[in-house]
Amino acid sequence: MSLVIVGTVAFDAIETPFGKTDKIVGGAATFAGLAASYLYDQVKLISVIGEDFGDDNINILKSRGIDVEGVEIVEGGKSFFWSGKYHNDMNSRDTLITELNVLADFDPKIPASYQDCTYLLLGNLTPQVQMQTLDRLAQAPKLVVLDTMNFWMDVALDDLKKVLQKVDVLTINDAEARQLSGEYSLVKAAEIILQMGPKYLIIKKGEHGALLFGEGQVFSAPALPLADVFDPTGAGDAFAGGFIGYLAKVKTINFTNMKNAIIYGSALASFCVEKFGTEQLQHLTAEDIKSRIQKFIALAKFEISE
Amino acid sequence: MSLVIVGTVAFDAIETPFGKTDKIVGGAATFAGLAASYLYDQVKLISVIGEDFGDDNINILKSRGIDVEGVEIVEGGKSFFWSGKYHNDMNSRDTLITELNVLADFDPKIPASYQDCTYLLLGNLTPQVQMQTLDRLAQAPKLVVLDTMNFWMDVALDDLKKVLQKVDVLTINDAEARQLSGEYSLVKAAEIILQMGPKYLIIKKGEHGALLFGEGQVFSAPALPLADVFDPTGAGDAFAGGFIGYLAKVKTINFTNMKNAIIYGSALASFCVEKFGTEQLQHLTAEDIKSRIQKFIALAKFEISE
């Protein structure tokens, strides 16, 4: 039994109102893998990097017990690089540089040791690579979670719809849910999207929390109000990693556990944004996570008895 | 013991993607009073209307047991009239017409029978009228809730700050909290605003719910995801009315009861937006409210045990 995450392992250069970084480690699979590693101990990544990535950076993953056998290193290649600048509200950003580099020809390889995949997170990538990953697993995983974004709805909608038919959970933001469904109301959007294949839909609303739809139910998870959001990069990926990591840990897939998984995902995301890049996700303790979960419980709890 | 609400009683003409109304009954005190009337039976309004308002419309309030002795009728005067058009997203709107009419010279009169005021809702009005109302009560109420908006921050900030020093609870939306505090982070905004006088701050986030700050704690209340938001007019007022109505009912003012009060306010607001104007708030049953509260409980509940 393992949790396999396919996605980018990359370099980011980030500017926020709080400061600026040179190239630092980023990528959806990196954030998701680190987040998941606090909840489950069999986390395995599938990705592609260049020779420039370097052992020190690989060790950030390895030191969290993450299996990187499936992270292909392209000789002479350069790693995917993204650079962005966040606006003052931290909810919008400009992409300054996108260099696909080795990601342009990403052909996901599944090591034999990954064929025990029980939980699969298809990180935000071309729907074609997401489908290839699924196709190359000998057995269908028990749970497939897919993350995507508006870009793929614009340029690869048909491919995206094909892979949606094969996933259990879709995570997108509210604008993307509206785009994918053509409905403004998130309730109506969820109805339409759940007919596209996923059994569960998670709508991420950033500082406004997240909604879970499925089994005819709906759950509203709060986001932790933070005094400072230092760098939002990777928050959605940390959320997805925490989410699937929790489900891998508890093993039973149902609405009740999905709700808790969303709280764990939200907690990991809340740590992620407190420092630049993966910094905060590298050194959490079990106590950190436990006390953050307690904050979420206090934040949302009310008792009405009549 | 009574709950006194000061605010507009008025006419609205509304256009939404779902339809269009002629002049219908509106006004902050109307929405708040109707909402409160489902939770507390001593609701008294202070407002001013013109002769055009008519007995049928007054009876909408009276039939809910609301005391209108404090609603002054100006002979030959015309009632406040607002007309607006909502955009497709229902979160933004254009004001088409604002005719202050009798509201321009509103001089709030407190009937002797209102001097038993224990709970006071200062609806969205000029801060000067809000202050006059407070000043004209012989005894300070046990709880004062103030609603305001960005317009008064723009044109009457000093007056607003004076009245803020005398209130227990302030309700504003997130953009207004940012404007009033000069801080983007709502956590920092709340810290600053709570130093201006109120012991509690409620930040209304529309379809994203509400945040309560006070006593060093924070609570995040969900909004009920709705398939159709028919007409958002009055939702904030219904929220405020339901909120203070619940506190008047339970009598004890503390963070725990404030949280529940926000859920009741949110429930009343969720009814409000399901039809045009006050239509839905005129004919609710106790069963309607109870089952709506159950929906909120199911929406927010999760249980993590470790």
DSSP state of A97: E
DSSP state of A80: -
Say whether residue A300 is in contact with chain B using an 8 A CB cutoff: yes
pLDDT band, residue A92 (cuts 50/70/90): confident
How close is the nearest chain A Cα to the Cα of B215, in Å?
13
- Assign A128 to helix, strand or coil: helix
Residue of A260, A294, A302 to mutate when probing chain B, most B C-beta within 10 A: A302
Helices A127-136, A157-164: crossing angle, 10 deg rounding: 30
Per-residue three-class SS string for chain B? CEEEEECCCEEEEEEECCEECCCEEECHHHHHHHHHHCCCCCEEEEEEEEHHHCHHHHHHHHCCCCEEEEEEEECCCCCCEEEEEECCCCCCEEEEEEECHHHHHCCCCCCHHHCCEEEEEECCCCHHHHHHHHHCCCCCCCEEEEECCHHHHHHCHHHHHHHHCCCCEEEEEHHHHHHHHCCCCHHHHHHHHHCCCCCEEEEECHHHCEEEEECCEEEEECCCCCCCCCCCCCHHHHHHHHHHHHHHHHCCCCHHHHHHHHHHHHHHHHHHCCCCCCHHHHCCCHHHHHHHHHHHHHHHCCCCCC
- In this prediction, residue A257 carries a pLDDT of 98
pLDDT tens, A215-273?
Answer: 999 999 999 999 988 899 999 999 999 999 999 999 999 999 999 999 999 999 999 99
Mean pLDDT (chain A) is 96
Mean pLDDT to the nearest integer, B252-276: 97
Give the residue from chain A lying closest to B224, CA to CA: A220
Tens of pLDDT along B20-57?
999 999 999 999 999 999 999 999 999 999 999 999 99
Q: Is A286 on the interface with B (CB under 8 A)?
A: no
Contact (Cβ atoms closer than 8 angstroms) between residue A35 and residue A245: yes
pLDDT confidence bin for B306, thresholds 50/70/90: low
CB nearest B185 (choices: A188, A226, A259)? A226
Q: Using alpha carbons only, give the angle A40, A44, A46 rounded to the nearest 5 degrees.
A: 145
What's the token pair of residue B183? 């801080």
Q: Which long-range contacts (CB under 8 A, 24 or more apart) does B82-86 make?
A: B82/B10, B82/B11, B82/B12, B82/B13, B82/B26, B83/B12, B83/B13, B83/B14, B84/B12, B84/B13, B84/B14, B84/B15, B84/B233, B85/B14, B85/B15, B85/B16, B86/B14, B86/B15, B86/B16, B86/B17, B86/B231, B86/B232
Q: Which whole number is the average pLDDT over A119-126? A: 97
Residue (of B146, B143, B295) closest to B227 by Cα position:
B295
Is the pLDDT at B92 greater than 90, yes or no?
Answer: no
pLDDT at residue number B90: 75
Residue A18 reports pLDDT greater than 90: no
Residue A89: predicted pLDDT: 75
Q: Is B231 exposed, middle or buried (0-12, 13-18, 19+ CB in 10 A)?
A: buried
B188 contacts A263? CB cut-off 8 A: no
- CB contacts of B266 in chain A (<8 Å) are none
State the average pLDDT for chain B.
Answer: 96
3-state secondary structure of A138: coil
Nearest CA in chain B to A17: B184
Quick one: average pLDDT of B156-177? 97
Select the residue of B205, B259, B304 nearest A263 (Cβ to Cβ).
Answer: B304
Cα–Cα distance, B57 to B36 (Å, whole number)? 18
For residue B97, which phi and psi values (nearest 5 degrees)? -140, 135
Instruction: Give the per-residue pLDDT at B18.
Output: 85
pLDDT in tens, A22-41: 999 999 999 999 999 999 99
Angle, alpha carbons A170-A176-A182 (nearest 5°):
105
Q: Determine phi and psi for B300, rounding to 5 degrees.
A: -105, -10
- Residues of chain A neighbouring B303 (CB-CB closer than 8 A): 256, 260
By C-alpha distance, the chain A residue nearest B298 is A219
Nearest to A188 among B227, B299, B304 (CB): B227
Question: Domains (ranges, CATH) in chain A?
Answer: 2-300 (3.40.1190.20)
Q: How far apart are CA B147 and CA B37, in angstroms?
A: 18
pLDDT for B138 equals 96
**Which long-range contacts does A93-99 make (Cβ < 8 Å, 24+ apart)?**
A93/A232, A96/A13, A96/A15, A97/A13
What's the one-letter identity of residue B160?
L
What are the tens digits of pLDDT across the range B95-117? Answer: 999 999 999 999 999 999 999 99
pLDDT tens sequence across B70-85: 999 999 999 999 999 9
For testing contact with chain A, the best of B218, B220, B258, B259 (most A CBs within 10 A): B220
Q: Quick one: average pLDDT of A70-86?
A: 96
Using CB atoms, pick whichever of B228, B300, B302 lies closest to residue A260. B302
Identity of the amino acid at B12? D
Chains A & B: contacts with CB separation below 8 Å: 94
Question: Can you tell me which residue has the tokens 């508890």?
Answer: A250
Evaluate whether ipTM surpasses 0.85: yes
**Distance, CA of B210 to CA of B223 (rounded, Å):** 7
| pLDDT in the model for residue A306 | 59
State percent of chain A over pLDDT 70. Answer: 100
Structure tokens at A172: 């997108």
Give the Cα separation of B24 and B83 in Å (integer): 10
Residue of A nearest to B229 (CA): A185
Question: How near does any CA of chain B get to the CA of A114, in Å?
Answer: 30
CB A202 within 8 A of CB B158: no
Apex B192 CA angle, B190 and B198, nearest 5: 70
Q: Please say if the pLDDT value at position A101 is more than 80.
A: yes
* Chain B CB contacts of A187 below 8 Å: 225-227
Burial class (CB in 10 A: 0-12, 13-18, 19+), B268: buried
CB A223 within 8 A of CB A206: yes
Question: Is A223 within 8 Å of B221 when comparing Cβ atoms?
Answer: no
Lookup result for tokens 């891998």: A248
Tokens (6 digits) for B185: 């982070």
Nearest CA in chain A to B184: A89
* Confidence band for B5, pLDDT divided at 50, 70 and 90: very high
Does A223 touch chain B if contact means CB atoms closer than 8 Å? Answer: yes
